[in-house]
Structure 1
Amino acid sequence: MSVVIVSGTGTEIGKTVVTSAVAAAALAAGRSVAVLKPAQTGVGPDEPGDAAEAVRLAGSAVTAVELVRYPEPLAPDTAARRAGLATLSPAEIARAAERLATHHDLVLVEGAGGLLVRFDEAGHGLADAARLLGAPTLVVAQAGLGTLNSTQLTAEALRARGLSALGVVIGSWPREPDLAARCNLADLPEVSGLPLLGAVPEGSGRLEPEEFRRAAPGWLAPALSGTWSPESFTAAWPA
């Protein structure tokens, strides 16, 4: 597992924080890590993007690479068209990930929004890059109402394309989870057919970096170099 695709079930669900946590846990386990952000949108030319945020949270040992940047917060193909810039192909993403994989134990490729967000005029996206790489996808999902449908759709889209998935991580677990969130701990694996591999606490991205790095392994299952147990976590939040 040298390359992992990190995809959300939507936008603003904690994908970058999860990517950072996986990077921090892998570094703590003695692995070398790179974070590849193929397309960064909605960020100015001198502003830090998601890859830089992963370095801030997980540590300077992370190699951060961003391929293209578009100024407006839109799907990459739309943002490229409006800015008069070139789009990004799955082959370019795959080549960049493969180059990083020759020098790193783990390469995390963080997508833009959901799995099927378009990167170019032909409608290609992160799923196409995953196929070229033969890389599994880690699905980042919301905790509460509506997440069962979006997570199941993402899992079905992966299977329909013959792609493998590592599992699901909840991107922002509430401090006071409601009934829907608590029920979803058991229901997410059932509807998606994917194991639950972690739950990152709400607001973790605002922690001091040192505290973030210490805590990250406790948010993730052993498959992601962590110590988190879905059974213990679910028992702690009964429905």
Structure 2
Amino acid sequence: MKALLVVGTDTEVGKTVLTSSLAAYWQIYQPNKSLGLMKLIETGIGDREFYQELFGSSPSLEIAAPLRFQTPVAPPIAAEREGRDIDLGQVWQEFRRLGQQKDFVLVEALGGLGSPVTHELTVADLAGEWRLSVVLVVPIKLGAIAQTVANVALARQCRIDLKGIVLNCVQPCTEQQLADWTPIELLESLTCIPVLGVLPYLSDRNDLKKLALVASNLALEKFLPW
């Protein structure tokens, strides 16, 4: 199955920005191919609604969020508060269906690789069991190096196919801040994982052409099936 899981080192680090940029690029440069866009598990309101607003009118792109909770906390806690179960079988079946019907599937994870999906499983466990190719989004901020090293170590422990790292400006940032907080050579040396590019800060995330342009500056050939 041709699919990619977009994960982050934490919450609010740019997973949605990268996912929507890749989807916009796919739509513009692969107009004759279909795409599935899936949120692994959604807690709270936001990502699915954003994707629906951005891509909902496209006939070649299908948006799926098979398991949703209203409470904006970790899934096992949200499920407990709402008196529900976390049915990963339902999530897997929807993922499989998209994989069978679409040319490619983009999946946005929740939180970091260590974020809990259930009381027993993390995002990393799921990515390993489902044999998903993964791209790791790292925010350009102080402390990002340690978070990156920890997430890459967890990826190796779970035997995840980690294709690369994408750095993201969560706020306007300078070249000096990039060099100080997320030096590319040091990240690659510590992790032995390639940095695929840098996402600039986007004040407007609803401009499809701008999103596609941002994606075009990444080393797409290393993780998309051209």
Normalised by the shorter chain, which TM-score bucket? Answer: 0.7 to 0.9
1:32 aligned to 34, 48, 54, which one? 34
Q: CA deviation at 1:83?
A: 1.5
Aligned to 1:220: 218
CA-CA distance at 1:177 after TM superposition: 2.0
Whether the 8 Å CA contact 2:39–2:48 is kept in 1: the answer is yes
Aligned: 1:135 with 2:137:
no
Report whether the alignment pairs 1:42 with 2:44. yes
Deviations 1:76-109 (A, max 9, x none): 11111111121143x4433322211111121112
Deviations along 1:87-141, one digit per CA (max 9) or x if unpaired, are 143x4433322211111121112111111211223x2132232223211111011
From the superposition, tell whether residues 55 and 29 of structure 1 become closer, same or farther in structure 2 (CA, over 3 Å): farther
* Structure 2 segments unaligned to the other structure (5+ residues): none
Contact 1:37–1:51 (Cα < 8 Å) also in 2: yes
C-alpha displacement of 1:150: 0.6
Report how many aligned residue pairs link the two structures.
218
Partner of 1:168: 165
CA, structure 1 residues 214+22, in 2 after alignment: closer, same or farther (shift >3 Å)? Answer: closer
1:116 corresponds to: 114
Residues 210, 108 of structure 1: alpha-carbon distance in 2 compared, 3 angstrom cutoff = closer
Q: Where does structure 1 differ by over 6 angstroms across 4 or more consecutive aligned residues?
A: none
Normalised to the residue count of structure 1, the TM-score between the two structures is: 0.81
1:150-189 counterparts in 2 under 5 A?
150-172=147-169, 174-177=171-174, 179-183=176-180, 184-189=183-188
Q: Which runs of 5+ in 1 are unaligned?
A: 44-48, 226-239
Structure 1 residues 187-202: aligned runs within 5 Å:
187-202=186-201
What is the aligned partner in structure 2 of residue 96 from structure 1? 94
1:144 equivalent to 2:146? Answer: no
Aligned-partner SS, 1:36: strand
